[in-house]
Amino acid sequence: MPLAIFDLDNTLIGGDSDYLWGEFLCDEGIITDRESFQKMNDYFYHQYEIGELDIYAWAEFSFKVLSEHSFDKLNQLRKDFMETKIRPIILEKAQNCIDNHKKNGDSVLVITASNTFVTKPIVEMYGIEHLLATEPEFVSGRFTGKVSGIPCFQSGKIDNLMPWLETNNENLIGSYFYSDSHNDLPLLELVDNPVAINGDPILTAAANENGWTNLDWR
Protein backbone atom coordinates (compact mmCIF):
# COMPACT_ATOMS: atom_id res chain seq x y z
CA MET A 1 0.00 0.00 0.00
CA PRO A 2 1.18 3.59 -0.62
CA LEU A 3 3.05 5.66 1.93
CA ALA A 4 1.36 8.82 3.21
CA ILE A 5 3.91 11.32 4.53
CA PHE A 6 2.91 14.40 6.52
CA ASP A 7 4.79 17.50 7.55
CA LEU A 8 3.82 18.58 11.06
CA ASP A 9 4.02 22.31 11.75
CA ASN A 10 1.33 24.37 10.04
CA THR A 11 0.21 21.19 8.29
CA LEU A 12 -1.14 18.74 10.88
CA ILE A 13 -1.36 21.49 13.50
CA GLY A 14 -2.43 25.10 13.18
CA GLY A 15 0.93 26.53 14.30
CA ASP A 16 4.62 25.80 14.71
CA SER A 17 5.43 23.44 17.59
CA ASP A 18 9.03 24.58 18.11
CA TYR A 19 8.08 28.25 18.12
CA LEU A 20 5.20 27.58 20.52
CA TRP A 21 7.47 25.49 22.77
CA GLY A 22 9.73 28.53 23.15
CA GLU A 23 6.76 30.74 23.97
CA PHE A 24 5.54 28.20 26.51
CA LEU A 25 8.93 28.05 28.26
CA CYS A 26 8.88 31.84 28.54
CA ASP A 27 5.33 31.78 29.93
CA GLU A 28 6.42 29.24 32.56
CA GLY A 29 9.42 31.32 33.59
CA ILE A 30 11.86 28.59 32.49
CA ILE A 31 13.45 31.14 30.18
CA THR A 32 13.99 34.28 32.21
CA ASP A 33 15.27 36.69 29.53
CA ARG A 34 12.08 36.60 27.53
CA GLU A 35 12.85 39.64 25.38
CA SER A 36 16.16 38.30 24.08
CA PHE A 37 14.81 34.79 23.61
CA GLN A 38 11.71 36.00 21.77
CA LYS A 39 13.84 38.11 19.47
CA MET A 40 15.93 35.08 18.50
CA ASN A 41 12.86 32.84 18.26
CA ASP A 42 11.25 35.33 15.87
CA TYR A 43 14.49 35.64 13.89
CA PHE A 44 14.86 31.91 13.30
CA TYR A 45 11.17 31.55 12.42
CA HIS A 46 11.49 34.32 9.83
CA GLN A 47 14.61 32.69 8.39
CA TYR A 48 12.64 29.46 8.07
CA GLU A 49 9.78 31.23 6.31
CA ILE A 50 12.09 32.73 3.68
CA GLY A 51 14.04 29.51 3.18
CA GLU A 52 17.32 30.73 4.64
CA LEU A 53 17.37 28.99 8.02
CA ASP A 54 20.74 27.78 9.28
CA ILE A 55 19.43 24.56 10.78
CA TYR A 56 22.49 24.01 12.98
CA ALA A 57 22.36 27.54 14.41
CA TRP A 58 18.67 27.06 15.10
CA ALA A 59 19.32 23.71 16.79
CA GLU A 60 22.01 25.20 19.03
CA PHE A 61 19.52 27.89 20.10
CA SER A 62 16.55 25.56 20.43
CA PHE A 63 18.28 22.65 22.16
CA LYS A 64 20.13 24.76 24.75
CA VAL A 65 17.19 24.75 27.16
CA LEU A 66 16.85 20.96 26.81
CA SER A 67 20.42 20.56 28.06
CA GLU A 68 19.79 22.71 31.14
CA HIS A 69 17.10 20.58 32.80
CA SER A 70 16.54 16.97 33.79
CA PHE A 71 14.50 14.75 31.52
CA ASP A 72 11.85 14.33 34.24
CA LYS A 73 11.34 18.09 34.49
CA LEU A 74 11.28 18.48 30.72
CA ASN A 75 8.77 15.66 30.43
CA GLN A 76 6.39 17.36 32.87
CA LEU A 77 6.75 20.64 31.02
CA ARG A 78 6.02 18.87 27.75
CA LYS A 79 2.79 17.40 29.17
CA ASP A 80 1.63 20.88 30.16
CA PHE A 81 2.72 22.25 26.78
CA MET A 82 0.64 19.64 24.97
CA GLU A 83 -2.49 20.63 26.87
CA THR A 84 -2.09 24.40 26.73
CA LYS A 85 -0.47 25.02 23.34
CA ILE A 86 -1.00 21.97 21.12
CA ARG A 87 -4.40 20.47 21.86
CA PRO A 88 -6.18 23.75 20.88
CA ILE A 89 -4.55 23.72 17.41
CA ILE A 90 -5.19 20.08 16.46
CA LEU A 91 -6.91 20.13 13.05
CA GLU A 92 -9.95 17.95 12.42
CA LYS A 93 -9.39 17.84 8.66
CA ALA A 94 -5.84 16.63 9.24
CA GLN A 95 -7.11 13.83 11.49
CA ASN A 96 -9.71 12.85 8.90
CA CYS A 97 -7.06 12.63 6.19
CA ILE A 98 -4.83 10.46 8.39
CA ASP A 99 -7.77 8.20 9.26
CA ASN A 100 -8.71 7.80 5.58
CA HIS A 101 -5.19 6.74 4.68
CA LYS A 102 -5.22 4.21 7.49
CA LYS A 103 -8.59 2.83 6.34
CA ASN A 104 -7.05 2.33 2.90
CA GLY A 105 -4.21 0.36 4.47
CA ASP A 106 -1.59 3.03 3.71
CA SER A 107 1.49 3.46 5.88
CA VAL A 108 1.57 6.84 7.63
CA LEU A 109 4.71 8.79 8.51
CA VAL A 110 5.39 12.27 9.87
CA ILE A 111 8.61 13.93 8.77
CA THR A 112 9.47 17.27 10.37
CA ALA A 113 12.37 19.64 10.97
CA SER A 114 11.17 20.18 14.53
CA ASN A 115 12.81 18.12 17.24
CA THR A 116 11.75 14.67 18.32
CA PHE A 117 11.24 15.58 21.98
CA VAL A 118 8.59 18.18 21.19
CA THR A 119 6.94 16.41 18.25
CA LYS A 120 6.67 12.78 19.37
CA PRO A 121 3.60 13.23 21.62
CA ILE A 122 1.90 15.35 18.94
CA VAL A 123 2.34 12.60 16.38
CA GLU A 124 1.06 10.05 18.89
CA MET A 125 -1.98 12.23 19.55
CA TYR A 126 -2.90 11.82 15.87
CA GLY A 127 -2.47 8.06 16.17
CA ILE A 128 0.65 7.94 13.98
CA GLU A 129 3.35 5.45 14.81
CA HIS A 130 6.22 6.55 12.57
CA LEU A 131 8.16 9.80 13.02
CA LEU A 132 11.30 11.22 11.44
CA ALA A 133 12.42 14.47 13.06
CA THR A 134 15.55 16.40 13.94
CA GLU A 135 17.12 14.43 16.78
CA PRO A 136 18.56 16.18 19.85
CA GLU A 137 21.58 14.25 21.11
CA PHE A 138 20.77 12.35 24.32
CA VAL A 139 23.63 10.94 26.42
CA SER A 140 23.52 9.39 29.90
CA GLY A 141 19.94 10.47 30.55
CA ARG A 142 20.33 14.11 29.48
CA PHE A 143 20.19 16.17 26.33
CA THR A 144 23.58 17.57 25.31
CA GLY A 145 22.31 20.55 23.29
CA LYS A 146 23.74 19.12 20.06
CA VAL A 147 22.13 17.56 16.98
CA SER A 148 22.35 13.81 16.47
CA GLY A 149 22.64 12.80 12.80
CA ILE A 150 21.37 14.81 9.84
CA PRO A 151 18.75 17.48 10.63
CA CYS A 152 15.40 16.62 9.06
CA PHE A 153 15.18 19.84 7.05
CA GLN A 154 14.85 20.58 3.32
CA SER A 155 16.88 17.91 1.45
CA GLY A 156 17.77 16.46 4.87
CA LYS A 157 14.24 15.06 4.95
CA ILE A 158 15.15 12.89 1.98
CA ASP A 159 18.47 11.93 3.60
CA ASN A 160 16.53 10.64 6.62
CA LEU A 161 13.68 9.12 4.61
CA MET A 162 15.73 6.89 2.31
CA PRO A 163 17.24 4.65 5.01
CA TRP A 164 13.85 4.56 6.76
CA LEU A 165 12.24 3.23 3.57
CA GLU A 166 14.81 0.46 3.34
CA THR A 167 14.54 -0.49 7.00
CA ASN A 168 10.75 -0.60 6.90
CA ASN A 169 10.42 -2.27 3.48
CA GLU A 170 8.57 0.76 2.11
CA ASN A 171 8.88 2.64 -1.19
CA LEU A 172 7.58 5.80 -2.83
CA ILE A 173 5.35 4.15 -5.44
CA GLY A 174 2.00 5.93 -5.18
CA SER A 175 3.28 7.98 -2.24
CA TYR A 176 1.75 11.17 -0.85
CA PHE A 177 3.38 14.09 0.91
CA TYR A 178 1.35 16.82 2.61
CA SER A 179 3.13 20.08 3.50
CA ASP A 180 2.62 23.81 3.94
CA SER A 181 6.18 24.94 3.23
CA HIS A 182 8.39 25.62 0.22
CA ASN A 183 11.25 24.26 2.35
CA ASP A 184 9.73 20.85 1.56
CA LEU A 185 9.87 21.21 -2.22
CA PRO A 186 12.71 18.63 -2.56
CA LEU A 187 10.51 15.91 -1.05
CA LEU A 188 7.29 17.17 -2.64
CA GLU A 189 8.95 16.83 -6.04
CA LEU A 190 10.01 13.26 -5.21
CA VAL A 191 6.65 11.72 -4.27
CA ASP A 192 3.92 10.70 -6.70
CA ASN A 193 1.19 12.77 -5.05
CA PRO A 194 2.40 16.10 -3.62
CA VAL A 195 -0.25 18.05 -1.71
CA ALA A 196 -0.01 21.66 -0.52
CA ILE A 197 -1.80 22.31 2.78
CA ASN A 198 -2.47 26.01 3.44
CA GLY A 199 0.73 26.55 1.47
CA ASP A 200 3.01 29.54 1.85
CA PRO A 201 3.15 31.82 -1.24
CA ILE A 202 6.15 30.07 -2.81
CA LEU A 203 4.69 26.61 -2.35
CA THR A 204 1.25 27.71 -3.54
CA ALA A 205 2.79 29.12 -6.73
CA ALA A 206 4.74 25.89 -7.30
CA ALA A 207 1.62 23.80 -6.67
CA ASN A 208 -0.43 25.85 -9.14
CA GLU A 209 2.32 25.68 -11.76
CA ASN A 210 2.69 21.90 -11.43
CA GLY A 211 -0.99 21.06 -11.04
CA TRP A 212 -0.60 19.76 -7.49
CA THR A 213 -3.56 19.53 -5.12
CA ASN A 214 -4.11 22.53 -2.82
CA LEU A 215 -6.10 21.94 0.37
CA ASP A 216 -7.28 24.16 3.22
CA TRP A 217 -7.26 22.43 6.61
CA ARG A 218 -7.94 25.57 8.64
| 16 is a catalytic site residue | no
Cα distance between residue 130 and residue 145, in whole Å: 24
Cα distance between residue 175 and residue 70, in whole Å: 39
| 99 is a catalytic site residue | no
Structural contact between residues 24 and 81, judged by C-beta atoms closer than 8 angstroms: yes
DSSP calls for 129-163? -EEEEEEEEEETTEEEEEEESS-SSTHHHHHHHHH
Catalytic residue among 9, 16, 18, 200: 9
Structural contact between residues 188 and 179, judged by C-beta atoms closer than 8 angstroms: yes
- Burial string for 93-102 (b: 16+ CB within 10 Å, else e) reads ebeebbeebe
Instruction: Give catalytic residues, as residue numbers.
Output: 7, 9
